[in-house]
Structure 1
Amino acid sequence: MSEPVSKNRYHDAPRATDFTIDQAWDTYSSAEHDRWTRLFRRQREIAKGRACDTALKAMSNLELSASGIPHMGELSDKLEKLTGWRVVPVAELVPDEIFFDHLANRRFPAGAFIRPEAEFDYLQEPDIFHDIFGHVPLLANPVFADFMQAYGKGGQRAMQLGQLHNLARLYWYTVEFGLIREGDDLRIYGAGILSSPNETVFALEDDSPNRIAFDLQRIMRTKYIIDDFQQTYFVIDSFDALLDACYKDFGNVYQDVRDADDIEAHETIPQDGLIHRGTLDYFRNKVKA
């Protein structure tokens, strides 16, 4: 039997007021479960020695496996015992105020659909593989779990102040595309990298991108691109350091960045804690092509 034309069969699913839906786990097809299995096996292998230890250990503790698409309710029961978080199914990206409310109350909204076979290697919008494999493991870490809740509360404040674009950059360069030091090495913790086989290698091993030490205001001033590898990655020293830098009211920070120029995604500035100055060759070659 062929797959439905629509890549997101939850598009018309009934939504609660918080935009959650019924995952309807028993309606996934054998082809969809097989797709999860192949995505999981490939990415778990690529992540070895590249993903941070915290993420890899959490996958084991949460019993994430290649044996089909996870049931979010069962996964939540395991996660809640560790950090009080739950994973709630949604059809697609939810409005900002709904998203922040979920995070502020220790709920992570995860897309319930799985990408079609034609987009096996790359999907621009987050599906269940990106959200579960990429995001959920770190929610089993108490410090990162606290950071995510603080981010949700901070999002509500940013909307009131009209500074949501600055806070979105923090999410992008940490939660989605962050790197972390582990001993003398850099490792991945950002979900956008962790769920992408090609960017997993590129972020750590290619000479093209800049790698810069975490700086809150610098990140809030930095633009990003959404349809290709990142031109700059920011590196945290630890999850404790990330939480310490962000567990505060950002009112004064917003005032400072409001009066400062934006920084292009590829740029470096003299104040950067530069770990690696990128050649930008990958991006220049794409322009030439």
Structure 2
Amino acid sequence: MFTEAQLYSPVTKGADGDVTVHLSDEHPGVHDPVYRARRNAIAAMALGYRPGDRVPRIDYTGEEQEVWRIVSAELARKRERYACAEVIEAAGRLALPSDHIPQLDEVTAKLAPLTGFRYAPAAGLVPLREFFGSFADRMFHSTQYIRHHSAPLYTPEPDAVHEILGHANQLACPRFAALYETVGAAVARLETERALKFLADVFWFSLEFGVLRERGEVRCYGAGLLSSYGEIEEFRQAELRSLDVHAMGTVAYDITHYQPILYCAESVNQIEDVIGGFFETMSDDTAARLAA
């Protein structure tokens, strides 16, 4: 099942005000004191942000910019090969820079005219209710740090590559952006944590790791696949199942490995009907009944 704590390295603030990002022992940057200090500083800027403030601008290093250039170029090639037409067209309209890491206000300036979505900074894991609930206001909470330079094509946690090259390219599509807004509206109706987790799991197997059939082959639309150099090459090897909200909300899965089971739609229309229809009518009772 979906486990919040696995998604990000925990961020804490000490009594002295120092902010610390706790990397796992397997993280590529765990033994790099410069990288760790950098992560702490970026997280501290996000923690200091309040709605209405100017979004913190990060002075990215040359090393970080090079990581972006490498990953951006590789993912652009893979997106053309493996993504669905809606995402490819949306990415073309959004036209994110490939030569530098865009500041979050730069992402907003490009995205808002297309679908109304704006980006806000996050230090790390955002509580589920706040993260998903903000979609109702067309707001997306995004980290600003970049993966370690020793492994530019790999990250054990979502970073700016995932948040921007994955989600922003997806959010630039009006049809997918509308689904996000429907998720946010559903959160406002939910009172139980059980229902919230069910929603998160359905979101995981659709807007994070969703695939569909198009032009005689399986293509992806999920942000987790769009931003993963490795998994976007492998998702066609997964066991493909038909869209099934009950199964998507209850099946066990491990976010630290490539997903062995994916739920495949026949079209974007079906995603809107099945997944969007579920989010539009979801309630605590609905989730309890399906989970049982």
Contact 1:23 1:112 in 2 (8 A): no
Tell me: CA distance 1:85–1:19, structure 2 relative to 1, closer, same or farther (3 Å): same
3-state DSSP class of the match of 1:48?
Answer: helix
One-letter amino acid of the counterpart of residue 48, structure 2: R
One-letter amino acid of the counterpart of residue 112, structure 1: Q
User: Which among 57, 68, 78 is matched to residue 46 of structure 1?
Assistant: 78
CA distance in 2, matches of 1:30, 1:185: 39
One-letter amino acid of the counterpart of residue 127, structure 1: D
3-state DSSP class of the match of 2:119?
Answer: strand
Which residue of structure 2 aligns with residue 66 of structure 1? 98
Gaps of 5+ in 1: 260-289
3-state DSSP class of the match of 1:49?
Answer: helix
Matched, 1:79 2:111: yes
CA distance in 2, matches of 1:229, 1:18: 35
CA distance in 2, matches of 1:237, 1:192: 19
Q: Deviations over 1:14-58 (max 9, x none)?
A: 434569883313x11111111100111112122222111222222
Contact 1:20 1:89 in 2 (8 A): no
Q: Which moved more, 1:233-242 or 1:249-258?
A: 249-258
Which residue of structure 2 aligns with residue 89 of structure 1? 121
> What does residue range 154-193 of structure 1 map to in structure 2 within 5 Å?
154-160=186-192, 162-193=194-225
Normalised TM-score (structure 2)? 0.80
Tell me: CA distance 1:87–1:123, structure 2 relative to 1, closer, same or farther (3 Å): same
3-state DSSP class of the match of 1:40?
Answer: helix
Structure 1 residue 148 displacement after superposition: 0.4
Contact 1:169 1:223 in 2 (8 A): no
One-letter amino acid of the counterpart of residue 232, structure 1: I
Q: Deviations over 1:118-140 (max 9, x none)?
A: 34232222110011001111212
Tell me: CA distance 1:232–1:17, structure 2 relative to 1, closer, same or farther (3 Å): same
One-letter amino acid of the counterpart of residue 128, structure 1: A
CA distance in 2, matches of 1:19, 1:160: 30
Structure 1 residue 235 displacement after superposition: 0.9
Gaps of 5+ in 2: 1-32
Structure 1 residue 237 displacement after superposition: 2.4
Tell me: CA distance 1:138–1:5, structure 2 relative to 1, closer, same or farther (3 Å): closer
Contact 2:63 2:149 in 1 (8 A): no
CA distance in 1, matches of 2:55, 2:148: 20
CA distance in 2, matches of 1:238, 1:141: 15
CA distance in 2, matches of 1:19, 1:163: 31
Structure 1 residue 191 displacement after superposition: 1.3
Tell me which of the two structures has the higher relative contact order, counting C-alpha pairs closer than 8 angstroms and 6 or more residues apart: 2
Matched, 1:220 2:249: yes
Which residue of structure 1 aligns with residue 7 of structure 2? none
Which residue of structure 1 aligns with residue 36 of structure 2? 5
Which residue of structure 1 aligns with residue 270 of structure 2? 241
Structure 1 residue 161 displacement after superposition: 6.2
Indicate the percent of aligned positions where both proteins have the same amino acid.
27
CA distance in 2, matches of 1:81, 1:110: 19
Tell me: CA distance 1:29–1:254, structure 2 relative to 1, closer, same or farther (3 Å): same
Q: Deviations over 1:176-233 (max 9, x none)?
A: 11101213211011111111121111102x3xx2101111122112121111011101
Contact 2:121 2:144 in 1 (8 A): yes
One-letter amino acid of the counterpart of residue 153, structure 1: A
Which residue of structure 2 aligns with residue 258 of structure 1? 291
CA distance in 2, matches of 1:232, 1:111: 27
Q: Which moved more, 1:64-73 or 1:227-236?
A: 64-73
RMSD between aligned residues: 2.2
CA distance in 1, matches of 2:251, 2:52: 30
Tell me: CA distance 1:97–1:24, structure 2 relative to 1, closer, same or farther (3 Å): same
Matched, 1:149 2:215: no
Normalised TM-score (structure 1)? 0.80
* Paired residues, number: 254
Q: Deviations over 1:102-123 (max 9, x none)?
A: 2111011111111111342322
Tell me: CA distance 1:192–1:19, structure 2 relative to 1, closer, same or farther (3 Å): farther
Contact 1:175 1:190 in 2 (8 A): yes
User: Which among 210, 216, 233 is matched to residue 239 of structure 2?
Assistant: 210
Matched, 1:32 2:64: yes
